[in-house]
Amino acid sequence: MQLTKRREQIEQIVVTAEQMREIEGRIFEAGMPVAALMEKVAGLITRRIQTLYPYPQTRRVGVLVGPGHNGGDALVVARELRYQGYEVLIYRPINKLKELTSHHAHYAESLGIPFYEQIQPLLDCDLIIDGLFGFGQTRSLEGNLADTVKQLNQLSQPILSIDLPSGIHTDTGEVLGTAIRASRTFCLGLWKQAYLQDQGLDYLGEAELIDFGIPLADIWAVLGQSPGLMRVTSSMVRDCLPLKRSAATYKYKEGHLLLICGSTQYSGGAILTALGARASGVGMLSVAVPDSLKPLLVSHVPESLVIGCPETPSGAIAQLPDSVNLSKFSAIACGPGLTLDAKSLVQGLMGVECPLILDADGLNSLAELKTIPTLIRRQGATVLTPHIGEFKRLFPDSAELLPNRVSAVQKASVLSRSVILLKGARSAIANSQGSVWLVPESTPALARGGSGDVLTGLIGGLVAQPATAKFPLDAIVAAAVWWHAKAGILAAQERTELGVDAFTLSEYLIPVFQDSRG
């Protein structure tokens, strides 16, 4: 049980390069010999390689060795694979090595493992192991080394990188000139930020964590008991989702969400947002749309209370009817399909006391109203769900920190006192204290019009439910993003990535919820 809990905690933690250095420094200061840790880590890597690439199906292994301890790890792996019968070849482009790495190189040579300064002898190996550079790399790969990487990236054989693909910045995921395009990457000890940034995803391949037993006390000593960066995991999501209800409950006790969305130009936005909200399990759902869309919404979401609203000449919502009492709702989500003609409506929502979720034209209207001055006057909680383009319009000063999505969303959330979901292949959710949840997986299947509308409804429905009120708002939003991503992944597995339209996506939310119940 303790091991399971530890694993869950380790899987949530995300560190920068500097934090990882500090944590490792504490381990070494406490008396752990660097050589002993290197042997331990390399042993774990070797056993995993034997499972994934067993001998004799994989016979010849090429190992790329850099000058630092990443190269030392690679040399120990090379030695252990040699003991297990693999034919091992080593590429060492840099002769000047750190002392410990140099010792391992001398020993590997004494075992008869061949070393090469050119890559050609390794190009026909069955597997390439990249141990050139680990975390902390900041300099671009240039010259002969860059040419070698380009050659390797043309191979069809699998490439496994130790800790990070060489050429990837640890914190931003930026490609430093060029980088190894790995088939698989073993992240050592703790997840690095690069694994949760969009920039480096095409280079990481399948990623997994090699937990080599860092004491939690050393982690908390560096990060604090409430780490600033956290990776969303299935156990965290299970905690936040309303999985069980009282036997005596009824609809009015399970939250009432108001959606304000749609226009005659973008009628689908209202439907898809409502379908996302429906899947959340919220007790009551009201949907405010232009009068002309009311029959359409009733036909698609018959259980909702559809509120017909006066329209502008362009077919947008002109205003909410006087009969709508905003104080009776648990949460309000606004924006999909709205158009900018409804900007005055968005402005009028700024005074509501319940949580307000803004997406799409709700965000574009907010940008025109001057984002930060408008938001800091709000008394209620606010959730913003921009993609990169919307984020740049909302927060031009914070956008200067891009492409480092983590730093950008942290700054924007603190300045605006809002929870901000910056959508992407690796979505980031920040709260007003600057803490960030990072969602570790997604699928290109979600790159379809309307998938964000489904997410907005899902977020609104979760936030509106009393069962989630005991959790921080940013954690609820993060759970919704994870749920949405998992639905996309499941749908893509059954329909292919190109076969997942937003309507289909909404149908996969409930199967994912059922799976999350364990």
Q: From the CB of residue 247, how many other CB atoms can be counted at a distance below 10 Å?
A: 5
At residue 175, φ and ψ (nearest 5 deg) are -85, 120
- Tell me the C-alpha distance between 101 and 110, whole Å: 14
User: Where do runs of H (alpha helix) occur along 175-266?
Assistant: 201-204, 216-223, 234-240
Side-chain half-sphere of 360: how many Cα atoms within 13 Å? Answer: 27
Q: 403 preceded by cis ω (within 30°)? A: yes
Q: Facing residues of 305 across strands?
A: 286
Report which DSSP code applies to 481: H
Q: Residues at the annotated binding site?
A: 69-73, 130, 134-140, 163, 166, 337, 387, 423-427, 452-453
How far, in Å, CA of 5 to CA of 27, rounded? 21
Buried-exposed string 163-174: b where 16+ CB fall within 10 A, e elsewhere: bbbbbbbbbbbb
| 352 alpha carbon, distance to own chain's centre | 31
Annotated binding residues for AMP, written as ranges, equal 423-427, 452
Contacts of 209 (CB under 8 A, 6+ apart): 10, 11, 186, 187, 189, 190, 191
Q: Where are the beta strands (DSSP E) in 263-372?
A: 284-290, 305-309, 331-334, 356-358
Q: Where are the beta strands (DSSP E) in 329-396?
A: 331-334, 356-358, 382-384
470 CB-contact burial (10 Å; exposed 0-12 / middle 13-18 / buried 19+): exposed
Place of tokens 């490792």: 24
Annotated binding site for K(+): 70, 130, 166
403 with 197: CB under 8 angstroms? yes
Residue 328 DSSP one-character state? G
Give how far Cα 484 sits from Cα of 145, 439, 453, Å: 41, 11, 11
CB neighbours of 252 closer than 8 A, spacing ≥ 6? 283, 284
Torsion of the alpha carbons at 228, 234, 235 and 238, rounded to the nearest 10: 110
Task: Write out the binding residues for (6S)-NADPHX.
Answer: 69-73, 134-140, 163, 337, 387, 453
3-state secondary structure string across 131-195: ECCCCCCCCCCCHHHHHHHHHHCCCCCCEEEECCCCCECCCCCCECCCCCCCCEEEEECCEEHHH
CA angle 183, 185, 188 (to 5 degrees): 175
Peptide bond into 56 cis (omega under 30): yes
The dihedrals phi and psi of 290, each to the nearest 5 degrees, come to: -55, 145
